[in-house]
Amino acid sequence: MDKKYFLNSMKEMDENKVVKLWEDIKLSESIDYPIQTTKFYPPGIWTKLNNINGMTFLTKGLTGESEKKVILIIPKNYLGEIPDFNLVYFKINGKNKFKNLLHKDFLGTIMSLGIRREILGDLIVENNVSYGVIFEENYKIIENIDKISNVPVKVEFAKEEEVPKTNFKKIIITVSSLRLDSVISETMNISRQRAADEIVKGNIMLNYVINKEKSFEIKEGDIISIRKFGKFKLGNEITITKKGKKRISLNKYI
């Protein structure tokens, strides 16, 4: 695969990020040694890393369901030990009796320290505690945070297994088919034509890639992201109605 083809395959992504990833891939290939990226990448990039000169790509984020992930590039003929990811899991404990801290409160405070979003993974907030992951060399920037929205907090190392699992809300919808426009229509409770318009506008991502094909047939396990509306994972078909429609489950990320 050449650079032009690689860039074109991700033309809707941030070009600077894609170019940097290409440089890391070529470096790993030239020195025949694994290279870890110095950025967290969105799924529109890491989901497309396959069939590149026989190389292997491992990814790691806050959880398996996380969108932002670091990439470990392993060259084709490398037979040595696979290095660990250079990441630190942390938690910011803001438990108190008076104020409910939100995701935006934790993220806003971290960003105010001058941390670029690309060096910080996803955050999960549960019971006034925020769990996150960051590159090891950048952890020292956040470890001295002592207040968020005037609430005293404590930053600590966390174990990966401490991070809460992604929560879902189960939704049941009835569709005439598994076409993308049909599922979007029922999910958003809008007309089929409006759903088609949203798809054509590029507001729908299927498995983290913009899909403008309204007749595309989706399947169990597919992840649908609807701009400004939410993210859903298609569950299994539950029943067929008397009119031949499909009753299916959707798991909404919450």
Q: Is residue 137 part of a domain?
A: yes
Cβ atoms < 10 Å from Cβ of 10: 19
Q: Which amino acid is at 43?
A: P
Tens of pLDDT, residue by residue over 45-98, are 998 898 898 999 999 999 988 889 999 999 999 999 999 999 999 999 999 999
The answer to whether residue 238 sits within a structural domain is yes
What is the C-alpha to C-alpha distance for residues 26 and 204, in angstroms, rounded to an integer? 32
Q: Is pLDDT of 43 > 90? A: no
Position 82 in a domain: no
Q: What pLDDT is recorded for position 11?
A: 79
Residue 173's pLDDT is what?
Answer: 93
Q: What is the pLDDT of residues 114-153, one digit of tens each?
A: 999 999 999 999 999 999 999 999 999 999 899 999 999 9
C-alpha closest to that of 172 among 242, 232, 222: 232
Residues 55 and 100 in one domain: no
Using the structure block, give the residue that is written with the tokens 């920037």: 141
Residue 9: band (very low, low, confident or very high) from pLDDT cuts 50, 70, 90: confident
Spatial separation of the C-alpha atoms in residues 181 and 211, rounded to whole Å:
11
243: pLDDT strictly greater than 90: no
Considering the domain architecture, whether residues 158 and 94 belong to the same structural domain is answered as yes
Using CA atoms, how far apart are residues 197 and 185, in angstroms rounded to an integer?
A: 10
Please state the separation of Cα 125 from the chain's center in Å. 16
Clarify whether residues 94 and 116 are in a common domain. Answer: yes
Rounded Cα–Cα distance for residues 184 and 207 (Å):
14
Contact 156, 142 (CB under 8 A): no
